[in-house]
Amino acid sequence: MESAMACHENVVRVLKMNGKVAVEYLSSILVKDVLVNFDGFGVGISEGSSQILPPNYELKTGKVYYLLPNPESLLTKTDNQCLSGEVKQIKVIITKQQLQELLSKKGSIEGMIAKVSEGLFEHNNVDEDESTRSWRPELETIPEGRE
């Protein structure tokens, strides 16, 4: 039993955010060597930490480290994709009112998508009071046939 405990103390353990072991190393290793297999991530000292360790930081045996999402690498990757002209297909869901507005103004779909994605789509035909009320369908009276 003691040998099993000693074995666990002599490893570098890197955990995922869910607490499961991502990788274990038998000797000290640099952060950059760990991250070769984990694109878009960084290594932190604690699970809740927002501070990512530098690439040349040496991870020591007997310590536990955490894989953390690296916001900088995600932004850089997205920027590089945009600059390289990579094309992505997206699905846009719009309301009937937005569709009518698009068709009546004969606007461009690209312009509409840009406005919707930036959260700047204007609801010109909607009253402030209408938007806060819950929607109810307009129902017609159906005569009951009692003959």
Question: What dihedral do alpha carbons 128, 133, 138, 144 form, nearest 10°?
Answer: -150
**Average pLDDT, whole number, for the chain?**
73
> Which fold, 2-76?
Ubiquitin-like (UB roll) (3.10.20)
Does the reported pTM lie above 0.85?
no
Share of the chain above pLDDT 70, in %: 61
Q: How far apart are CA 73 and CA 32, in angstroms?
A: 13
Instruction: State residue 78's pLDDT score.
Output: 53
- Which residue in this structure is represented by tokens 């846009």? 92
Q: Where are the domains of the chain?
A: 2-76, 89-125
Judged by phi (left if over 0) then psi (alpha if -120 to 50, else beta), residue 26 lies in: alpha
- List, for residues 21-76, the tens digit of each pLDDT value: 888 889 999 988 888 888 888 888 887 777 888 889 999 999 899 988 876 655 55
Instruction: State residue 97's pLDDT score.
Output: 84
